Chains A and B, each alone.
Chain A
Amino acid sequence: MTAILVAATALWLGILTSISPCPLATNIAAISFVGRRLGSPLEVFWTGVVYTLGRMLTYVVLGILLVASFISVPLVSQLLQKYMNKILGPILILVGMFLLEMLTLRFASPGLSEKLQHRFATWGVWGAGLLGVIFALSFCPVSAALFFGSLLPLAIKYESSVLLPSLYGVATALPVLLFAILVALGAQSLAQAFNKLTRIEWWARRITGAVFVVVGIYYSLAFIFGIFP
């Protein structure tokens, strides 16, 4: 009974993190990234799953390191909050510019393009995992308090450095995961309804790029220039 209660608490802490206003901007960026390949429902689904795994993995690694007390909890928390959000802005702007094709990687041989397209599709799925890791590490006050202050003591008390952080990680990705599942289920009918999916995808990709650039500018202004204190 206690085990279920503790697991539910870990999930609840994750949900509280995901719905609090402070990770909202990164959630919006993640949702638009996951949903941008509207035409391939399966890919949208896997992108959502891999994003969730990325977040989960981050919290598990932090959980293992911190439960084993290799490093000081306040120090890690303060450092991640201080620096991750600062470097996130420029990273998001650059990723957005790639999505908008403002920046392109030039390749010598044109014959490679089809292979590359395929590789980019796979890159998109793994990129979501990387995005999950980066977004999970970008602790804001709410997620830092709930992870380092509430979840970690629980993990230490019950000697659960893997399960509890995993549950927390899945719960923090819940809005994105739910969106991915809904899109995967609904995209087929949407495709039939519009019959113009390539066009929709073209727009989805651009909207995603624009969202990344806007969120990136917001993060830079807020955390580097301190404009929205």
Chain B
Amino acid sequence: MKLKQVTTALLLLFVGVSVIFLVVKETRSKGANTSPVGQTVPAQEAASIVPPAEKSGSTVVAQANPEASGAVAAAATARAKNQIDTHGRTVVAYYFHGNFRCPTCRKLEAFSREAVESGFPEDLKAGRLEWHVINIEEPGNEHFAQDYQLVSKSLVLVGKEDSKETKWKNLQDIWTLVNNKAAFIKYVQTEIRSYLGEA
């Protein structure tokens, strides 16, 4: 019976610690949100706040300028490129995620990236297409949820004319196609192509 009492005590302790940890974390993050850092950040800036693990998502931006490295440089490149591309149509493909990364979500991101990188190497190089991975739970990125009506991890295409956002589309069907990689990639590439105006 002693074992049962010890287990009970340990489990109650675990529950207690969990609840305290949760409350402290939530009150702290609420405090952080009220600071000026939590204000809206333009999309291009936000892309540079992508955490280190997700940096590879910015590789396409970095590729445009081989000398550039790191988030700051990538953001600068993105801005510079924006100035070059002020004329004509550009498309930004965003993959939005939160702090919790589920196995299906990782698959969505990997397939999306593959669809973008394998299907449009020229457009990526020329800056007609950009690929960004963004954590919407990081300070400054919360506005994306309202901007693009995000309900979960999402792949969103944003169409720009003369660097002004003209249209966007949430590629919702990725969720029903995630178990069929070929169909997934075809779907994403078809949508991007139509946004790029090549269809």
Residues of A within 8 A of B (CB): 13, 16, 20-22, 72-75, 77-78, 81-82, 85-87, 89-90, 93-94, 97, 102-103, 140-142, 144-146, 148-150, 213, 217, 220, 222-226, 229
**A142 and B22: CB pair below 8 A?**
no
Which of B15, B100, B102 interacts with A93 by CB under 8 Å? B15
Residues of A with C-beta under 8 A to B99: 226, 229
B152 and A148 contacting across the interface, CB-CB below 8 Å: yes
Q: B149 interface residue, CB < 8 Å from A?
A: yes
Q: B144-164, CB under 8 A of A: which get 1 and which 0?
A: 011001111110000000000
Contact of A141 among B11, B18, B145, B152 (CB under 8 A): B152
**Least distance between A219 CB and chain B CB atoms (Å):** 9
Stretch at the interface among B41-49, B58-66, B85-93, B168-176: B168-176
B1-60: which residues lie under 8 A (CB-CB) from chain A?
A: 4, 7-8, 11-12, 14-15, 18-19, 21-22, 25
Interface contacts beyond A22-B102, A82-B98: sample of 14 additional A-B pairs, CB < 8 Å, sorted by A:
A22-B103, A74-B146, A74-B150, A74-B151, A75-B145, A77-B151, A78-B150, A90-B18, A97-B8, A97-B11, A102-B8, A223-B100, A225-B18, A229-B100
A142–B102 contact, CB under 8 A?
yes
Knowing A93-B14, A149-B152, the reply to whether A102 touches B102 (Cβ < 8 A) is no
Cβ contact of A140, chosen from B19, B102, B172, cutoff 8 A:
B102
Task: Tell which of A149, A224, A229 touches B101, judged by Cβ atoms closer than 8 Å.
Answer: A229
Point out the residue from B4, B15, B146, B170 that lies within 8 Å of A149, measured CB to CB: B170
Q: Are B172 and A81 in contact (CB under 8 A)?
A: no
Do A149 and B102 have beta carbons less than 8 Å apart? no
A123 CB to nearest chain B CB (Å): 21
A sample of 27 cross-chain residue pairs with beta-carbon separation below 8 angstroms, ordered by A number, consists of: A16-B176, A22-B104, A73-B149, A74-B145, A74-B150, A75-B145, A77-B151, A78-B98, A82-B98, A93-B14, A102-B4, A102-B8, A141-B102, A141-B105, A142-B104, A142-B152, A145-B151, A145-B172, A146-B175, A149-B154, A149-B170, A150-B172, A220-B18, A223-B100, A224-B18, A225-B18, A229-B100
The CB with the most chain B CB atoms within 10 A, among A74, A94, A144, A148, is that of A74
Q: Which of B22, B98, B146, B175 contacts A224 (CB 8 A)?
A: B22
A135 and B153 CA atoms in complex are apart in Å by 20
Rounded to whole angstroms, the CA-CA distance of A20 and B152 in the bound complex is: 15
Q: How far is the CB of A25 from chain B (nearest CB, A)?
A: 11
Which B residues fall within an 8 A CB radius of A? 4, 7-8, 11-12, 14-15, 18-19, 21-22, 25, 98-105, 145-146, 149-154, 170, 172, 175-176
Please report whether the interface of chain A is mostly helix, strand, loop or mixed according to DSSP.
helix
List of B residues within 8 angstroms of A229 by Cβ: 99-101
- Greatest chain A CB density within 10 A among B4, B102, B172 is at B102
CA distance A68 to B174 in the complex (A): 27
Inter-chain contact A94/B15, CB cutoff 8 Å: yes
Min Cβ gap A39→B in Å is 24
Q: Given A89-B18, A229-B100, are A150 and B150 also a contact pair (CB < 8 Å)?
A: no
The residue that B153 contacts in the complex, of A21, A74, A141, A225, with Cβ under 8 A, is: A141
Contact of B8 among A89, A103, A140, A149 (CB under 8 A): A103
- A144 x B152 contact (CB < 8 A): yes
* A13 to B104 alpha-carbon distance, docked (Å): 15
The CA of A213 and the CA of B18, in the complex, are separated in Å by 14
A-B pairs, top 4 by smallest CB distance, nearest first, are A148-B151, A145-B152, A77-B151, A144-B152
Residues on the B chain within 8 Å of A20, using CB: 104
In the bound complex, CA of A79 to CA of B143 (Å): 14
Separation of A77 and B19 alpha carbons in the complex (Å): 22
Whether the pair B11, A102 counts as a contact (CB closer than 8 A) is yes
Inter-chain CA distance A149–B170, complex, in Å, is 9
